[in-house]
Amino acid sequence: MTPGQTIKTFTTKKGNTVVIRYPKWEDLDDVLAFANNLVEEEALLALSKKQTRAEEAKWMADTFEKIETGKKIKLVAVVNGKYAGNCEIRIHDNRESHVGDIGIALSKDYRDEGIGAELLTTLIAQGKNAGLKLLILYCYENNDRALHLYEKLGFTRSGLVPGTFAYKGSYIGDVTLYLPLK
Ligand SMILES: CC(C)(COP(=O)(O)OP(=O)(O)OC[C@H]1O[C@@H](n2cnc3c(N)ncnc32)[C@H](O)[C@@H]1OP(=O)(O)O)[C@@H](O)C(=O)NCCC(=O)NCCS
């Protein structure tokens, strides 16, 4: 991976220009703002606590180390020049080194215009190129948009663990989905 390298550029149905690229160190402040906006929004994600710049820098250092050692694949979406989201595959090890868990999030301003679909499709292709055979996703059971997108891209629901996430005063179940790569 070459940091910052562009993988794909396209225009959305709303006319926004999207670049899908690899992450780079210079993203740090944009990622920090992006992540903390998701926390503030109470997006349907595991992350619930705002990050400091130092915590985010540590996270990024860990990410780059994992990318370099083949433990992670990460892509960034930039919309009209603005950092707008990212996605990643966290690759397992030992007997599960052919398996990866997916995470994806876009900022509120750029949802529902097909960017998530492009980003995830590109990520899946990269996982396949890396030799992965199985992708797994975990998703809040009430995240209808995400579940719709995942099933549209071929993921199958394999189960629900009830009450996993404490969210706005109630407990929300965690849906597992999987996609075999052929
Ligand atoms: C989930 C997420 C990555 C999807 O990306 P996106 O760019 O918004 O998704 P897309 O526009 O590519 O596709 C969304 C699809 O869901 C559909 N959709 C939107 N709201 C929906 C709802 N309430 N119920 C069902 N489907 C819905 C859209 O119509 C579209 O489907 P279509 O292409 O068949 O018309 C993005 O919305 C996001 O980051 N959300 C907040 C963080 C999050 O939830 N991350 C996932 C955690 S598992």
How many whole angstroms from its chain centre is CA 71? Answer: 15
Cα 7 to middle of ligand 1, angstroms: 22
Residue 44 and residue 48: Cα distance in Å, rounded? 9
CATH architecture of residue range(s) 6-180 = 3-Layer(aba) Sandwich (3.40)
Q: Mind listing the pLDDT tens digit of every residue in the chain (182 residues)?
A: 899 999 999 999 999 999 999 999 999 999 999 999 999 999 999 999 999 999 999 999 999 999 999 999 999 999 999 999 999 999 999 999 999 999 999 999 999 999 999 999 999 999 999 999 999 999 999 999 999 999 999 999 999 999 999 999 999 999 999 999 99
Q: What are phi and psi of 94, to 5 degrees?
A: 50, -130
**Angle at the Cα of 63 from the Cα atoms of 181 and 21, rounded to 5 degrees:** 65
Cα 157 to middle of ligand 1, angstroms: 16
Predicted TM-score (pTM) of the model is: 0.97
Q: What is the atom index within ligand 1 of the atom nearest the CA of 152?
A: 34
Q: What is the atom index within ligand 1 of the atom nearest the CA of 117?
A: 12
Residue 6 CB partners (closer than 8 Å, separation 6+): 19, 20, 21
Residue 153 and residue 28: Cα distance in Å, rounded? 30
Residue 63 and residue 57: Cα distance in Å, rounded? 10
Residue 165 and residue 97: Cα distance in Å, rounded? 27
Query: Which of 102, 93, 104, 96 lies closest to 71, judged by CA?
Result: 93
Residue 142 and residue 106: Cα distance in Å, rounded? 17
Confidence at residue 1, expressed as pLDDT on a 0 to 100 scale: 83
- Indicate whether residue 146 lines ligand 1 (CB < 6 A): yes
Cα 49 to middle of ligand 1, angstroms: 23
- Indicate whether residue 127 lines ligand 1 (CB < 6 A): no
- Indicate whether residue 143 lines ligand 1 (CB < 6 A): yes
Confidence at residue 80, expressed as pLDDT on a 0 to 100 scale: 98
- The Cα diameter of the chain in Å comes to 44
Confidence at residue 155, expressed as pLDDT on a 0 to 100 scale: 98
Q: What is the atom index within ligand 1 of the atom nearest the CA of 107?
A: 39
Report how far apart, in Å, the C-alpha atoms of 81 and of each of 11, 91, 113 are. Answer: 13, 29, 17
Residue 40 CB partners (closer than 8 Å, separation 6+): 50
